[in-house]
Amino acid sequence: MNNIIELFRQHNLLKVIQESVDIDFEIPHIAFVEAKKEDSKALLFLKPVSKRLGKEFHIPVLMNIFGSEKALKLIFGKDIEAISKDIDELMRLRIEAGFRGKAEFLTKLLSFKNIPPKRVSGKGICQEFIKQGDKVNLFNIPILTTWPEDGGAFITMGQIYTQSLDGRLQNLGMYRMQVHDKNHLGVHWQIHKDGMHFFNEYKKEGKKMPVSIAIGGDPLYIWCAQAPMPYGFFELLLYGFIRGKKAKLIKSLTNPIYVPDDADFVLEGWIDPQNLALEGPFGDHTGFYTPKELYPVMEVTCITSKLEPIYHATVVGKPPIEDKYMGQATARIFLPLLKTTTPELIDYDMPENGVFHNLILAKMETRYVGHAKQFMHAFWGVGQMSFVKHAIFVGDNAPSLQDRESISRFILNRVSKENIIISEGICDALDHASPNANYGGKLGLDCTGDEVESDLKEIIDDTVLLDKMSLLCREIKSVKQFMTDTKTPVTFVAIKKERLMQEVFRLLRPVKKYTKLLVFVNSESDDIENLYMLIWKVVNNIDAKRDIFLEDEFFGIDATKKGALEGYNREWPNVVNCDKNVLDDLRKRGLVEFDEEFLRKFWI
């Protein structure tokens, strides 16, 4: 970790905070603001303290190291597109005829000898300092409490190492872990994670499961931990492929799990499958709090570290944050692997304000009528892509998916009732909009064809449109139109909700000659001038089967908060936000800089 700090310092990508700053809210709030800046830098806090615990820590806290494209390139050590190209070549590797072809194949094959991790014996760098038994105390590590409604302190960038019951498969994942007490952690394993698959094996046999959590070390371990590798493939194979050298692993002292030799901390322990405890709430990367639920508990039996460790953490919440760049790298690098099951795929993009699994844009080669609709179902069946809620497909004539303005116009010129598929399937465990946990509606939009033929709309001023709508429904407080020069003008409608939005949508039929798509949001909480954050709110708040209304060339989307009106029986979560008093105090102390425009831009 010290190597990356020095590298960041050399490239002017590091801010060092010398002042004492609290691990509860203050450090995370500083990182949250920093992550949203155009010149975002990594943050090294030299004097973390805890007023709650009455502690001063001599362990620095490092945050936001994935906070820019420049930082990403330094961590990977090479261009992301070059890595993607290498993987593509690996996928196409075959023996050509003749001696030269065989020699080239052998040369390439030998270049892969450094991919598998290497297990070494003896004591590791991460085991220079050892605490076992009664000396184990998680409160001696500056583990952060991020948000006001969080259930406690959470490890947010831990590398969780597990193995299958027979020891033949290894897995590396990144899941949040809540500190329950000095030697117990709640493990947030979602049902689709490989760690949970292993957990079920141990549970079936009534055996305790070994788990080790590495914190720090080479930052590339962190990215590998969140990479969507197929089941059974150890994520550190990616490390070897990218670095061109084997990851060096050392055995944990109190369980059989192997971890990186250069980690700053290692928390070792065991999980009793019968021992579950309430975990949460936690302000997650969706920008909403996830509720309290029962999750496995890890008993920490040993804590090892370097002699001078650094604690590595991240902050999650409303976009844009650090995972924006981690997600971009994942999308580019895994494109060749995705093409092996969907060969017609040309490119795909997961916008950060779509919270990645909530929205995907995909460019494909269409070969026959209905190809895109067939492709949607194939896409929803591929690994972690199966958790995507909303998928929009365009043809090879579409502009770059990363050109948000152009691709939006391209899509809106191709929206019709016939091109919309509303389906259902599994959802991410963090999705709150669906009426049932882990299962809900999905939207597919086929925009691979020509522009739709529709009557030109009579576009009128927002104030005039508001007057007309208010006569039809008194609860409407404001409207804002976007993309009025496309075949699908979009109107955001801020409403004080008193009835079902489907009823309001029917009341507003007379305005269909002025607009084509109505999107309903809550007037009390949503700024309809801010399209970036509106998209974040919409894709979070809708279940396609319940919240999309389709008539003949007139559509509605209900992105309001759901409750008894809709028969929604789950707990609708609060939006994650900073503690205003903490933020104001940090600004007075000169630890953060922002103005009112900055706060409005990111709905802080």
Active site residues: 284
CA atoms within 13 A on the CB side of 537: 27
Residue 281: asked if its preceding bond is cis (omega within 30°), the reply is: yes
Token code pair at residue 7 = 């590298």
Q: Contact 518/557 with Cβ under 8 angstroms?
A: yes
Coil vs helix vs strand at 507: helix
Query: Please, what is the Cα angle at 509 between 503 and 514, to 5 degrees?
Result: 135
Distance (Å, whole) CA 604 – CA 581:
13
425 Cβ contact partners less than 8 Å away, ≥ 6 residues apart = 380, 386, 439, 440, 442
Taking Cα atoms as reference points, which of 118, 122, 295 lies closest to residue 211? 295
E strands in 453-558:
476-482, 490-495, 517-522, 548-551, 554-558
Taking Cα atoms as reference points, which of 370, 330, 392 lies closest to residue 80? 330
Q: Contact 314/323 with Cβ under 8 angstroms?
A: yes
Taking Cα atoms as reference points, which of 170, 165, 211, 222 lies closest to residue 187? 211
| Helix (H) / strand (E) containing 71 | helix 69-76
Distance (Å, whole) CA 363 – CA 397:
9
Amino acid occupying residue 231: Y
- Residue 245's Cβ-count burial label (10 Å; 0-12, 13-18, 19+) is exposed
Token code pair at residue 531 = 């399209």
Query: How many C-beta atoms surround the C-beta of residue 418 within 10 A?
Result: 9
